[in-house]
Homo-oligomer: A and B are copies of this chain.
């Protein structure tokens, strides 16, 4: 049983993935991606996405995002993203570093989403062709969002249509890709290229791997010189097969789906339980594996005192907390969390 609701990257690794790694750890293989496992990944991902894709495994989500953006934007480019997106708020400027100084144009929007009319408005005001202005280069959305919400397929299609009308590619930061697919009940293809996504940062680490992500190009022409940029960024893993083995096992037997289902179900259960506690209010709807919820202070302190880990989300005084579930989260953990919460809900504030 875990008491850790701080993030899904506090989880360990799926046994299936650990087994694949150990199994693949013997004997020699050519380095830098010239091994059989890495080379088969192209076909495996193409099958997964029901179209020919070009993929590049890397070890971190920030690397996936920043490298993807580095081939989409020139140094004087503008990347349109949500104000609270991970690329803008949580990567210490990695996109700026890898693009050699592109500008992230921040669009606000409720519940972590860019609204199509806002995107259209910002792009309408961009000064394309003017030498004084940074030049529109790409649009990036996060799915599931940083607010624990999920763009509908129609919302993605609308954003893609606007981006494409301005000749801009659409990038999706899919750090919690599987959680979103499970939430929408759609296929990976439907949530990506069929809806207009051109490049995807495919996250697997949070959902059961050790350190495995993939940059997925649905339009291989966009990948351009990514091979050189990945190496130059120090992100070409020499024993690449060990990253690829994780991704291979992750896609095998629907492990990705099974893991995300467990995480999402636990989040839903938690949301339902908390919703019944007086004084609890949700900041955003719970649509994947993250809850943003205001807890009465005694509940919050009671949970902390009982050993549960999670972040106050808006400073040390904040009663807005983020709760994240993962594939490792058990019913038992959630039940226990709710019991403690209910106990303290009845008590007066100290």
Contact = CB atoms under 8 A, between A and B. Distances in A.
B12 A26 contact: yes
A347 interface: no
B228 A135 contact: yes
B132 A9 contact: no
A102 B59 CA distance: 24
Interface in A1-26: 2-4, 6-7, 9-13, 15, 18, 21-22, 24-26
A228 B96 contact: no
Given A10-B31, A13-B25, A205-B239, A232 B135 contact: no
Interface in A220-270: 225, 227-239, 242-243
Interface stretch (A60-68, A138-146, A184-192, A295-303): A60-68
A91 interface: yes
A12 B58 CA distance: 19
Chain A contact patch, size range? 35 or more
A179 B228 CA distance: 29
A228 B77 CA distance: 10
B89 A239 contact: no
A125 B90 CA distance: 13
Given A12-B28, A102-B96, A131 B228 contact: yes
A134 interface: yes
Contacts of A239: 9, 12-13, 205, 210-211
A101 interface: yes
A76 interface: yes
A350 interface: no
A11 B10 CA distance: 30
A285 interface: no
Contacts of A101: 93, 96-97, 99-101
Given A59-B237, A131-B236, 9 more contacts: A12-B29, A62-B236, A64-B234, A92-B232, A93-B101, A94-B231, A96-B96, A205-B239, A211-B239
Q: List 7 A-B pairs, minimum CB-CB distance, nearest first.
A: A63-B234, A96-B101, A4-B28, A62-B234, A13-B25, A100-B100, A92-B231
